[in-house]
Amino acid sequence: MPPADLDELCQQVRDLNLRVARLEERLAVGAGCSLSHETSAPPAEPVGEVDSPSPLAEAPPSLPVLGAATLGLAGAYLLRAIAESDFFPPTAVVGVGTLYAVTWLFWAARTRNRFAATVYSMTAGLILAPLLWEVTARFQMVGAWQAGVILVAFTLIGLAKSWSGNCGAVATLSVVASLGTAVALLIATHDALPLTFVFLAIAAAVEICAAFNRWLGLRWLSAAAADLSLLLTTWLVTNPQGLPEAYAPIPVKGLLLAQMALLLIYLCSVTVRTLLRGFTFTNFEVVQCAVAFVLGLGGALRLSSEGMLFTPALAGFTFLCGAACYIISFRLLARQASHSRNFYIYSTFAILLFLVGCRIFLNESADAAAWSLLALAGVGAGGLRREPVLEAHGGVYLLLALAASGDLRQSAAFLLGNDAWPGSVQPALWIGLLVAATCYFLAVRLASVEDSGWNQRAYRAALAAALVWVALGWTAGGLTGVYHGLMGTPSGDSYCATLRTGSITLAAVLLASIGSRVHFQDLAQLVYPLMLLGGYRLVAVDLHLDRKPARVLSLFLYGLALMVIPRLRRGRLAH
C-alpha cells in the first residue's frame, strides 16, 4: 500500500474515533472510555470546529461590584445620620467621612477590573461630595477653606493612587468629583476666593501630571474651572456696582495672588513640557497660555485701576516674559534644522508680550519711541542673523511706531485729504520718517544673494512702502505749504489738489528710475500701486476741480508719467 494511502487511512480512523467519542459524551454513556480514547489518541480538530469561549464567561462580575457600591453608599448615609445627631464632633464626622471616601479610592486603584475601578471611584465621589456639601453649606460645621483643603487632598490622593496603578478612571473621577463639589459649594456659600484657590490647586496638580504626559484630557476641564472661577471673582471685585451682598468679602491682595498663580501655573507647565521634556506645543497650551495672560494681567490691571499702583511691576513682568520668549526662540529653538512649531509659538508670544507691555506702561509718544527702537533692533538683528521671523517682527514694530507717532495718519491727510502744512511739526513725526528710512536701508544693506525669495522681496517691499508713504505724504504737504505761503490761498485750492496728484505721479517715475538699480529693485514694485493711487485722485478729485488749468495740468502730469514709466522699466529689464 502506498504511504499516501496509509496516511489517509490513519486520518479517517482518527476522525471516526473522534466522532464516536463525541456521541458517547452526548449520550452520557461510557464517559471513562471516551476519556481514554481522547487520551490515547488526541485528535487534531479542524480549525473551523474549535468552540470559541462565550463573552459572558469573560464579563466582569457586575452584580457583586454594584452590591459593594450600594453598601458603600449605605455607609455614607449612616455617616450623615451621625452628623445630624450631634453625638460626635463635626470635625470627627468629616474626618471619618473623608477617610471612608479615600478608602474607596484605594480600593478602586487596587482592583484590576476597569468596571470595578470606575464604580468604586464613583462611589468615593458620591460619598464625599454630598457629605462635604451638607456639613459646609447646610449645617455650616466647617468653613469654605477647610472644605477646599479636603477637596484638594482628595484629588491629590486620587491622582497619586491612579499614578501608581496607572488607572485613569480613578484620576478622572477624583478630579471630576472635586471640581463638581467645589462648584456646588461656590454656588451655595458665595465664598468665591477659597474655592478659586481650590480650582487653581487642582489645575496645578493636573499640570504636574501633564508634565509626565499623564491624563492630558483632564487639562481642559481643570483649566476651564480655574479660568471661569477667576473671571467671576475678578468681576465681583471690579464691577461698578460693587460686591453683591450675598458674597463673602474678597481681599484684593488675595485676588491678585490668585491671578498671578493662574499665570505662573501655566507658564511653568508649558516651560517644563516644551523645553525640559521636549514636547510640542498643544492646542490647549496655546489657548490656555493666552487666556492665562488675559485673565492674569488683565485682571491685575483692573485691580490697579481700582487704586492699587502696581502697573509698572506688571509691565516689567510682561517685558521680562517677552524677552524670555525671544531668547528661547532665537537662542535655543532656532538651532534646530528647521524651525519647529514651538519656535513660531514662542516668537509670536514674544512680540505680543512686548506690544502689551508697551501699551500698559507707556503713553502714545513713548510707545512710538519704544517701537521705533524695537523696529531698528528687529530689522538689524534679523538681517545679521538671517532670521526672517525677526525681520518680520521689526516690520511690525515699524508700522506700530509710524501709527503711534501719527505719520501714517498725517501722510494720508496730506495725500488724500486737504490738510494744510502745519506751522510746526512734532519731532515724533520726523523721527518716524527717519526710522522708516533707516529700517529700509538696513534691510537693503544686510540682504544677501540668498535673500532673493518671494518672502524676502515682499518684506523689503513692505518696508519700502512704509518709507514711500510717509516721505510722499510729507512731500505733498510741504509743496502745498509752500504754495499756501506764496499765494495765500486756502487749503482747498484747485492747484493744491494738482500738487498732491503730481507728487504721486512724479514719485512713481522716480521709483521706476531708482528701481533699475540692483539693490533697489524692491522700489520698482511700488510704481504701479502709486499710479493706481494717482488715478484714484485724478478721477475722484482733480476732474471735479473748479479751475480748468488745474485739471489740464493734472491730466498732463499723469499722462506723461504713463508714457515714461514703461520705458524706464524696459530699460531696467534690459540691464
Q: pLDDT by residue (tens digit) across 111-158?
A: 777 888 888 888 888 888 888 888 888 878 888 999 999 999 999 998
pLDDT-derived band at 547, boundaries 50, 70, 90: confident
Cβ-contact 196, 258 below 8 angstroms: yes
DSSP annotation of 239: S
Helix axes 114-133, 90-110, angle to 10 degrees: 170
Residue 149: per-residue pLDDT: 94
Tell which residue, 83, 81, 125, has the closest CA to residue 102: 125
What mean pLDDT comes out for the span 447-460? 71
What pLDDT digit, counting tens, does each position of 182-208 carry?
999 999 999 999 999 999 999 999 999
Q: Where are the alpha helices (DSSP H) in 362-453?
A: 364-385, 388-405, 407-416, 427-446
pLDDT in tens, 21-35: 665 555 544 444 343
* 5 vs 404: CA distance, rounded Å: 101
- Residue linked to cell 462565550: 54
More confident: 158 or 71:
158
The pLDDT value recorded for residue 33 is 37
Q: Is 546 helix (H, G, I), strand (E, B) or coil?
A: coil
- Distances in whole angstroms, Cα of residue 569 to Cα of each of 462, 509, 519, 534, 563: 20, 10, 15, 18, 11
Tell whether the model's pLDDT for residue 570 goes beyond 80. Answer: no
Confidence category of residue 512, pLDDT binned at 50, 70, 90: confident
HSE-CB for 203 with a 13 A CA cutoff:
30
d(CA 282, CA 421): 53
Nearest to 493 by CA among 506, 479, 504: 479
Residue 451 or residue 227, greater confidence: 227
How large is the angle between the packed helices 252-271 and 192-211, nearest 10 degrees?
A: 10
Residue 229 and residue 199 in contact, taking contact as beta carbons nearer than 8 Å: yes
Cβ atoms within 10 Å, residue 567: 10
Residue among 161, 63, 66 nearest 105 (CA)? 161
pLDDT value at 49 more than 50: no
Instruction: Name the CA radius of gyration of the chain, rounded.
Output: 39
Which cell is 75 given?
A: 455607609
Residue 454 has pLDDT above 60, yes or no: yes
Cα–Cα distance for residue pair 416/400, rounded to 1 Å: 21
Measured over the CA atoms of residue 433, residue 438, residue 441 and residue 446, the dihedral's sign is negative
What integer is the mean pLDDT of 234-253?
A: 89
The confidence score (pLDDT) of residue 398 equals: 94
- The pLDDT, as a whole number, for residue 263 is 94
pLDDT value at residue 174: 92
pLDDT above 70 for 10: no
Q: Using the predicted structure, report yes or no on whether residue 226 has a pLDDT greater than 90.
A: yes
Better-scored residue on pLDDT, 416 or 426: 416
pLDDT at 15 over 80: no
**Mean per-residue pLDDT, 419-437:** 77
**Region for 545 from its dihedrals, namely left if φ exceeds 0, alpha if ψ lies in -120 to 50, beta otherwise:** beta
Task: Please name which of 498, 489, 507 lies closest in space to residue 420, comparing C-alpha atoms.
Answer: 489
- In sequence order, the 6+-apart residues with CB closer than 8 A to the CB of 218 are 171, 172, 175, 206, 209
Question: Which segments of 166-275 does DSSP mark as H helices, in order?
Answer: 168-189, 192-211, 218-238, 252-271
d(CA 406, CA 427) in angstroms, rounded, equals: 11
Nearest-CA neighbor of 200 among 253, 251, 264? 264
Q: Locate 362 and state its grid cell.
A: 507707556
**Per-residue confidence (pLDDT) for residue 59, from 0 to 100:** 43
- In tens, the pLDDT along 455-483 reads 778 888 899 999 999 999 888 888 887 87
pLDDT value at residue 29: 41
Question: Which pLDDT does position 272 carry in this prediction?
Answer: 94
Cell 481643570 belongs to 222
pLDDT of residue 43: 47
Cβ neighbours of residue 38 under 8 Å, at least 6 residues apart? Answer: 21
Q: How far apart are CA 262 and CA 268, in angstroms?
A: 10
- What local confidence, expressed as pLDDT, does residue 45 receive? 44
Taking alpha carbons only, the member of 508, 504, 514 closest to residue 572 is 514
Best mean pLDDT range from 87-96, 287-296, 356-365: 287-296
Write down the pLDDT at residue 518.
64
What percent of the chain lies above the pLDDT cut of 70?
Answer: 81
pLDDT band per the 50, 70, 90 thresholds, residue 522: confident
Mean pLDDT across the stretch 297-319? 80
